[in-house]
Structure 1
Amino acid sequence: MNHTVRIAIASISSYIELSPTELKKLQDKRAKTKTERHQQRKAELFRRYGVEVTPELVDKDDDAWYPQLRMHYYLTLGREFLANRDAKRAAAQLEARENSIWKPDFNKGQLLPAVLLLESLNLF
């Protein structure tokens, strides 16, 4: 993403005004203006990170920063919550698919195996 777009996303001021319902409505809308796309992206970033959205944050998110932060959290402070998180996710998939799980989706959503592998390799 070019620098101008990152600045445009960070400078949109109306993202705080978007309620969860309004954000969902905007996400579901198919044809969006450039301003609406920027508004949606900024609202999503603000909800994901809970901090002021800057061009640097937009850039880091574009470089898949969130999955790295999430993995770091579960390797450190959130380790005790990881098994419960994966179990809840598996239960939700079972419920949504009427007692059947598509393995690629299931495997992609589970973080415990990756954390255990990194720990066993002493990479963290």
Structure 2
Amino acid sequence: MSNAGFAVAKSEVNPAILGLILDYCRFHQVPGRSNKEHKTFDEKFIRMDTGRLCELTSAADSLQLKPLVDLTSRALARIIEGKTPEEIRETFHIPDDLTENVEVEEEPVDERSVDDLLSFINSADGGM
């Protein structure tokens, strides 16, 4: 990664989240750890409130840490799985941005008969 990319990502990551990312990287860089050790660490690591998990996912994405993005994204997917849109909005504190007073423009309806349309088509193509 270029230094310029890191500078942009660094400015967007708060120190607490950066600390978590460093903990994750330190653990996973140690050679010789088993898959079971990695899995156990990861399961404990992602146990946090949804707001923090979202922030961690965003920071990992900004820093292009694909394994951490994948881990946190799977955790978020498990949180969302099986929930209604209303429950998801409540879980992630997302306002319901749909208003009841939205006017929907209706599609124009062509009220011509089939015969009128065929006559129009046949006259429009110049008798071909």
Structure 1 and Structure 2 fold alike (TM over 0.5): no
Instruction: Identify the structure with the greater helix proportion.
Output: 1
TM-score (norm 1): 0.26
TM-score, scaled to structure 2:
0.26
